[in-house]
């Protein structure tokens, strides 16, 4: 009887070991993918005391372009397109998210729209980086046309990290996409910092001042209002951004984006047409931190605590089972009964 119990316990122990390994090697990799059915929270960033160009129509119907100072609020909404993702083939199939992204920037003090845009982006479910996909697109849309179609597939090539970092983010340099330059540039790891009680990796990207290409019509419109004596101009741009990334989930828990644009006319001084430092508002910070906490808890549960607990139970069961089997064998056959002797 002891041998049977011992064998059963030993088998249970081996089964626990297999289950623990299965959790780590089979279940956890599935968790380390952004689910298709998850809709990210709206991301809102605010820039107090920003300088920006306001283009509007006066009551008499005349256009007006002025440089203003005030608080800017930029909201990014994301709608997963799971139907399109399900139609992907080849290396993208089952590994890629398709997100429709809408962005609205407003002048808070006057409750006026400043900029609207829409885009379609393919993202790798594990690395969070942009995936090469022919349907990528970007479109600046008029303030009153938010959500309108007009995003032409293939007019932009997103690369690098945009809204997510990889699960198990490393202490290394990543490529991060700059929407003004429409290209990804290095964002080196800078150190470890704590955000809301969670350890994060700080990454910083610095873009030195450089010229931007502008179409002649845009230059002419800006000069007409901001530097009427000039006949031509160039545009300069510089930026720096800092991200605080929770490494287990790749969630961006802190965000600071500083941008500076100057119009440099051939006559007169440069005109600052955009200067702002954007950071998460309180609601966004709370939402991304809560999401990271939930993700960490799930990864720790299935990737560490459950496997360790199951292994401990398995080793104990296997050990007890082994001892019982050994004891049962060492005892040998039991003493003969009277009936056996008589026979």
Residue 335: how many CB atoms within 10 A of its CB?
6
At 86-125, the pLDDT tens digits run 999 999 999 999 999 999 999 999 998 999 999 999 999 9
At 59-86, the pLDDT tens digits run 787 788 889 999 999 999 999 999 999 9
The answer as to whether 181 is a domain residue is yes
Q: Looking at the predicted structure, is the pLDDT value of residue 47 above 80? A: yes
The answer as to whether 94 is a domain residue is yes
- Overall domain count for the chain: 1
At 209-238, the pLDDT tens digits run 999 988 888 888 888 889 988 899 999 999
Q: Looking at the predicted structure, is the pLDDT value of residue 269 above 50? A: yes
The answer as to whether 1 is a domain residue is no
Q: Which residue has the higher pLDDT, 301 or 3?
A: 301
Locus of tokens 């600052």:
272
pTM for the full predicted model? 0.84
C-alpha span between 230 and 236 (Å, rounded): 16
Residues 6 or more apart whose Cβ sits within 8 Å of residue 337: none
The answer as to whether 99 is a domain residue is yes
Q: Looking at the predicted structure, is the pLDDT value of residue 21 above 50? A: yes
Residue 194's DSSP bridge partners are 199
C-alpha span between 145 and 251 (Å, rounded): 31
The answer as to whether 127 is a domain residue is yes
| CA dist list (Å): 327 to 149, 300, 330, 331 | 77, 39, 5, 6
The answer as to whether 58 is a domain residue is yes
pLDDT for the residue 149: 55
Q: What percent of the chain has pLDDT over 70?
A: 80
pLDDT for the residue 340: 46
pLDDT for the residue 259: 97
The answer as to whether 132 is a domain residue is yes
Domain encompassing residue 239 = 26-300
Q: Looking at the predicted structure, is the pLDDT value of residue 148 above 70? A: no
Single out the residue of 191, 130, 119 nearest to residue 165, CA to CA.
Answer: 130
Residue 333: how many CB atoms within 10 A of its CB?
5
Residue 261's DSSP bridge partners are 237, 274
Locate 286 and state its tokens.
């709370």
The answer as to whether 311 is a domain residue is no
Q: Looking at the predicted structure, is the pLDDT value of residue 316 above 80? A: no
**Is residue 174 very low, low, confident or very high in pLDDT (cuts 50, 70, 90)?**
very high
Single out the residue of 233, 209, 208 nearest to residue 219, CA to CA.
Answer: 233
């Amino acid at each position: 009887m002891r041998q049977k119990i011992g064998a059963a316990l030993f088998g249970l122990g081996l089964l626990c070991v297999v289950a623990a390994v299965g959790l780590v090697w089979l279940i956890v990799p599935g968790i380390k993918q952004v689910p298709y059915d998850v809709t990210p929270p709206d991301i809102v960033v605010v820039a107090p005391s920003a300088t920006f160009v306001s283009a509007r129509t006066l009551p008499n119907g005349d256009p007006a372009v002025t440089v203003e100072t005030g608080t800017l609020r930029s909201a990014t909404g994301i709608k997963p397109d799971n139907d399109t993702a399900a139609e992907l083939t080849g290396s993208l199939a089952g590994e890629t998210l398709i997100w429709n992204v809408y962005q609205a920037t407003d002048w808070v003090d006057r409750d006026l729209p400043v900029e609207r845009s829409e885009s379609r982006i393919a993202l790798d479910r594990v690395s969070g980086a942009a995936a090469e996909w022919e349907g990528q697109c970007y479109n600046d849309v008029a303030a009153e046309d938010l959500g309108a179609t007009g995003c032409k597939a293939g007019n932009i090539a997103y690369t690098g990290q945009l809204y997510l970092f990889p699960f198990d983010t490393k202490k290394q340099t990543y490529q991060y996409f700059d929407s003004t330059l429409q290209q990804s540039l290095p964002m080196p790891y800078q150190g470890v910092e704590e955000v809301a009680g969670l350890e994060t990796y700080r990454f910083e990207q610095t873009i030195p001042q450089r010229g931007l290409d502008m179409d002649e019509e845009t230059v002419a419109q800006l000069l007409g209002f901001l530097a009427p004596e000039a006949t031509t101009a160039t545009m300069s741009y510089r930026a720096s951004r800092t991200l605080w990334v929770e490494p287990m989930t790749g969630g961006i828990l802190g965000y600071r984006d500083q941008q500076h644009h100057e119009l440099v006319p051939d006559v007169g001084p440069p005109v600052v047409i955009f200067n702002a430092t954007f950071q998460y508002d309180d609601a966004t910070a709370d939402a991304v931190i809560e999401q990271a906490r939930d993700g960490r808890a799930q990864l720790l549960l299935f990737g560490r605590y459950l496997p360790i607990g199951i292994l401990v139970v398995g080793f104990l069961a296997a050990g007890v089972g082994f001892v019982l089997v050994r004891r049962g064998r060492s005892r040998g056959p039991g003493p003969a009964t009277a009936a056996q002797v008589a026979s």
